[in-house]
């Protein structure tokens, strides 16, 4: 049975209230396709049946069915060294500059919306490869709203089709162990990262001042007001000379005048004015 407008509106409000993600009307097909499996697992014969069950448990804020419904609507596309240029900027420009400025200090890096962990692990491997002197100077925090994604990220286990996306073969064999079905990232890399559950639309909790923030390909899912509130919170945890990385289709322009665009040979990022 096709999803009704009323059911779509209910799901859209549920997702927005929980995550701040705004589902436009053209995403109606996406709701129908992604929630079909959730409905089946819940014993409902359709998305409409799933919505009816959700309405019955509306007083139970953290009900598992609520959580599985919302998580099914999240986009978790990621891969190792995604888009390449931000990592080249880290290697050739930003980290060398910060090393000159922060001699003997601890570096704090935050990967927001880390999904299944490929981004923070990419950063950890890059630092280990090119800046081994920072081994005991870096704290990497990786966060996501999804408990399922954080569990995957924390495990550090990836299937063959995941490790061939963006990960150089030399790094695969150097930093992963081959299992019977998956590749397991080495413990030394896993220990370099602290995974936390953070909803970007809510207070971030206790966070150190960040030298580098990766918040890529997530702002595109929020409305303007939510983007502005997130960037306002980012301002409070980013060091005055720290760097903010956004996705290729994202910008702070016309959202937050406290940020300026910084151009490098390999791409752009943002700093506070």
Q: Are the beta carbons of 244 and 259 closer than 8 angstroms?
A: yes
pLDDT value at residue 58: 62
Q: What is the mean pLDDT of each run of 10 residues along the chain (273 residues)?
A: 87 91 89 90 89 78 82 90 96 95 90 97 97 92 95 96 96 95 95 96 96 96 96 97 96 97 94 97
Q: For residues 147-184, b (16+ Cβ closer than 10 Å) or e, as one string? A: eebbebbeebbbeeebbeebbeeebbeebbeeeeebbe
What domains sit in the chain, N to C, each tagged with a CATH number? 5-72 (1.10.155), 85-272 (3.40.50.150)
- For position 110, what pLDDT does the model report? 98
């Amino acid at each position: 049975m096709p999803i009704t407008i009323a059911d779509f509106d209910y799901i859209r409000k549920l997702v927005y209230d929980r995550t701040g993600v705004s589902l436009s009307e053209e995403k109606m097909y996406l709701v129908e396709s992604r929630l079909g499996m959730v409905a089946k697992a819940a014993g409902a014969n359709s998305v409409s049946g799933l919505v009816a069950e959700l309405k019955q448990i509306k007083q139970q804020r953290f009900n598992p069915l609520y959580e599985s419904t919302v998580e099914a609507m999240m986009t978790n596309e990621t891969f190792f060294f995604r888009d390449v240029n931000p990592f080249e900027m880290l290697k050739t420009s930003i980290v060398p500059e910060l090393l000159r400025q922060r001699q003997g200090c601890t570096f704090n890096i935050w990967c927001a919306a880390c999904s299944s962990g490929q981004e923070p692990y990419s950063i950890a491997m890059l630092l280990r490869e090119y800046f081994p002197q920072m081994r005991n100077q870096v704290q990497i925090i990786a966060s996501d709203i999804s408990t399922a994604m954080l569990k995957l990220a924390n495990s550090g286990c990836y299937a063959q089709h995941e490790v061939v996306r963006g990960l150089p073969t030399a790094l695969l064999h150097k930093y992963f162990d081959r299992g019977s079905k998956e590749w397991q990232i080495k413990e030394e890399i896993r220990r370099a990262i602290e995974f936390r559950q953070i909803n970007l639309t809510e207070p971030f909790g206790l966070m150190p001042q960040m030298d580098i923030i990766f918040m890529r390909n997530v702002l595109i899912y929020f409305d303007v007001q939510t983007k502005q509130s997130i960037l306002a919170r980012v301002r409070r945890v980013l060091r005055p000379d720290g760097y903010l990385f956004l996705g290729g289709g994202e910008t702070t322009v016309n959202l937050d005048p406290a940020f300026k665009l910084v151009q490098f040979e390999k791409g752009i990022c943002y700093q506070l004015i």
